[in-house]
Structures are given as structure tokens and as C-alpha cells.
Structure 1
Amino acid sequence: MAGKFEAFVDHDSFFRFRLLAPDGTIMAISGPFDSKTALAAGIAAVRECAGTGLVTDLCPAGTVARQPPAAVPASAAATVQDDCDDRRVPASGHTFSLANGPRRQGSRPRWVTAAAR
């Protein structure tokens, strides 16, 4: 299963999207957009550029990654209160779909003239 995009309205009333991995992990959150049209264009740009993006390694040589923290036992997790005010999900529960059908794979180059079609 592929990842997916989730559109939402943030606490400042801007449109944003999240890129989710197949397991539901948030991979990226977009910057703010003023309209759903701009949001859809931003998602389209990410879809178009993501597969062809170059990777630039800015990590210092010899850097060792830290180990992830140990899992918290279920009994200890139950005693911790979650006082975060997570405003990333719109209160109205609206969902946003970009397409009415499956996405076309591959398209003609944009620079093809009408006479060449």
C-alpha cells in the first residue's frame, strides 16, 4: 500500500497537508496554503518532484545515529496524562479528496504543441 496525503485546517485557519506512510506514520507536514486550490497544487508538486529529488548529505562524517528510546511499559504509560492540545485535526471532521478517480500514470510532456498531437 502506498502512502497518502491528508488535508486539514490548522489552528490559524490555513490549509495544510500531511504525508503519511502506509503504517500511518507522519512523514512530512506542509507549509500553510490560503486555499484548497493552492493546497491541491502543492500536493501535485510534491507528487511530481518527490521521486526525482536529489539527496544532499549534510551530516558530519563519522556521526553515529542515536538509539531510539526504550519503550515505556503499559502500566507507566497509563499514569501519564496527555495535556497536549492537538489542533492538527479539524474540529468539523471534514475530509478532502483530490481526485474523483485513479491517478493517471504518465502524461505527455507539457511542451508538446497542439500541432504535434
Structure 2
Amino acid sequence: MAGQFEIFTDAESNVRFRLLAADGTVLAISTAFDDKRQAADGIMAVRECAGTGLIREVSSNPWTGQRGGRNASPTPAVREHRHRHRHLPAV
């Protein structure tokens, strides 16, 4: 059995969708939408691009939201490197 999308209303009355694996594991939860139609459009967009989407590795500090290492003001060489993104093929 394939995975499935579920449209639901969260605790703040926002419409969202989640992608479930065949075993029921939640793989992804969407951003908030104004209504079910927009959520359905979001599902269609995910279906359309997920099979061909590239994987991009981005590092960030979960406490500050800033990318990069522990230094508050990285050197220019580090800053330049930080903005380059490595694209990996979809698997």
C-alpha cells in the first residue's frame, strides 16, 4: 500500500495536510492554509515536484536560526562557503 495525504484542522483552526507512510508514520506536515482547497492545491504541488526534487543539505543553529558554526561573526571565507549549497540527486 502506498502512503497517503490527510487534510486536517490543527488546534489553532488552521487547515493543514500531513503525508503518511504506508505504516502510518508521519513523514511531513504542511504549513497552514486558509481552506481545504488551498491544502489540496498544496498536496498537488508536492506530488508534482517530490519525485524530481533535489536534496539540499543546509546547516543551521536550531537555537538562533543562523546558519553556520558556533561563531557569531564568521570569517568572510566561512560566510562565502556557507551560502553555497550542495545539491544531491533525488533517491
- The TM-score with structure 1 as length reference comes to 0.48
The unaligned stretches of length 5 or more in structure 1 are 60-117
**Post-superposition shift, 1:26?**
0.3
Give secondary structure in 2 for the equivalent of 1:56: strand
Which of the two has higher C-alpha Rg? 1
Q: Deviation string for 1:54-102 (max 9, x for gaps)? A: 012346xxxxxxxxxxxxxxxxxxxxxxxxxxxxxxxxxxxxxxxxxxx
**Post-superposition shift, 1:49?**
0.6
**Which residue is equivalent to 1:32?**
32
Give secondary structure in 1 for the equivalent of 2:56: coil
% identity of equivalent residues: 61
RMSD over aligned Cα atoms: 1.1
Kindly tell me the number of residue pairs found equivalent between the two proteins. 59
* Counterpart mapping for 1:42-81 below 5 A: 42-58=42-58
Cα distance in 1 for residues equivalent to 2:35 and 2:12 = 13
* Counterpart mapping for 1:1-117 below 5 A: 1-58=1-58
Question: Match for 2:15: what amino acid?
Answer: F
- The TM-score with structure 2 as length reference comes to 0.61
Structure 1 stretches of at least 4 aligned residues deviating more than 4 Å after TM superposition? none
Q: Deviation string for 1:20-59 (max 9, x for gaps)? A: 0011000000000001110110000000010010012346
The unaligned stretches of length 5 or more in structure 2 are 60-91
**Which residue is equivalent to 1:107?**
none
Greater length-normalized contact order (CA 8 Å, ≥ 6 residues apart): 1
Structure with the largest fraction of strand: 2
